Structure 1
């Protein structure tokens, strides 16, 4: 986990923020018990590199004008067309204290399902967990390469280490295996 250098931001007008974005800076806010709420800016390239490593719900270390801390990424706002990061919200956390956060659920082996003419239908794409900041996974993986038509996956099917607790109801169904035609029919019924 690298340390990101955040620069305190004093400008508050929309024009000043737009100018900073044109200069390759991303505005953000970090908040916490010790810090209160502080506005900052960070280089877009640095931020994108860190997001690719830690994920959009990950944990990062930061230096804000000499103040060193650890924060969880609470929200990343992106432009809907260019997908560029427009704003980021961070919440300061203790590195070793327990916290609750959402972690994305990712599927391995989807390509084997498409060869069989079946697909995964997601009802939920993340799960709420409790763990220390240093143990937050980038994602929780589920191998679906051996799934069969009609298979149903519950949160209890997810495998996590002993240092991570799933907070959501373990009997919640988050995905099922259906035919491609089912998805097409379901989408046409909604129109």
Structure 2
């Protein structure tokens, strides 16, 4: 994964008011953590940062130029306004080239499973250890032609070279089950209601027809 180059500015103003002023200027407040240093408060260019995060995904690697000092950082957390869908704040973690980091990588399911099946993704991310500059954007799981009963566990995943699994290998990632028809669901529901002693109200039309025949 190549690093996206971003020119950042150090900042000394904090609090909600300062953050609002930064966002009004189409910039993003951020904090850089890591390597035993005090957190560094930054201001990032809005559009460039948004494009870098869109391109690099949840674990985007950024090459920061902070007032002339270059630092490498992984995205740790992104806060997004739920209504306007704009980035409100970014947490970054400083890394070094060659350093191993533990990250949660998204799972992408591709391919079409066999007929009459339902593909259930049990976990959306898996935790791996990888070299900081080679963290994958996602891990692909191919279910093409998979039959009902197929289960894909963390240990079955194909990881990029140099990466190792941190999560338990027995963790169920994708489960391919038989698709249940509407008729089968109704029958199962009726059986459950019968066992629970639930009686359905007689349909209105049927009730009127019964009344007229008396």
More off after superposition, 143-152 vs 72-81: 143-152
TM-score (norm 2): 0.77
1:34 Cα offset (Å): 6.2
Please say if residues 74 and 92 of structure 2, whose CA atoms lie closer than 8 Å, have aligned partners that are also in contact: yes
* Counterpart-to-counterpart distance in 1, 2:24 and 2:145: 48
Q: CA RMSD in A?
A: 2.1
2:30 to 28, 41, 45: 28
1:32-55 per-position Cα deviation (integer Å, ceiling 9, x unaligned) = 226421111112211111112211
Other-structure match for 1:121: 120
Tell me the distance in 1 between the aligned counterparts of 2:150 and 2:15.
52
Given that 1:123 and 1:174 are in contact with CA atoms closer than 8 Å, whether structure 2 keeps it comes out as yes
**What is aligned with 1:87?**
89
Change (3 A) 1:180 1:46: farther
Q: Is the contact between residue 58 and residue 137 of structure 1 (CA under 8 Å) also seen in structure 2? A: no
SS of aligned partner of 2:59:
coil
Partner SS for 2:39 = strand
* 1:97 aligned partner: 99
Which has more radius of gyration? 2
Q: Once the two structures are superposed, what CA deviation does each residue of 1:5-34 show, in whole Å capped at 9, x if it has no partner? A: 111122113122112212211111001226
Separation of aligned partners in 1, 2:145 and 2:16: 51
Stretches of structure 2 lacking an aligned partner (at least 5 in a row): 186-214
Change (3 A) 1:61 1:177: same
Deviation at 1:150, TM superposition (A): 2.5
Quick check: which one's strand share is greater? 1
**1:64 aligns with one of 66, 81, 94:** 66
Partner of 1:47: 49
Moved over 6 A (4+): none
Do the aligned residues in 1 keep the contact of 2:52 with 2:60 (CA within 8 Å)? no
Q: 2:138 matched to 1:145?
A: no
Give the match for residue 189 of structure 1. none
Residue in 1 aligned with 2:14? Answer: 12
Question: Shift in Å at residue 179 of structure 1?
Answer: 5.1
SS in 1 for 2:82: coil
Deviation at 1:104, TM superposition (A): 0.8
User: When the two structures are superposed, what TM-score results if normalisation uses the length of structure 1?
Assistant: 0.86
Contact 1:124–1:175, Cα closer than 8 Å, also in 2: yes
Q: Which runs of 5+ in 1 are unaligned?
A: 186-191
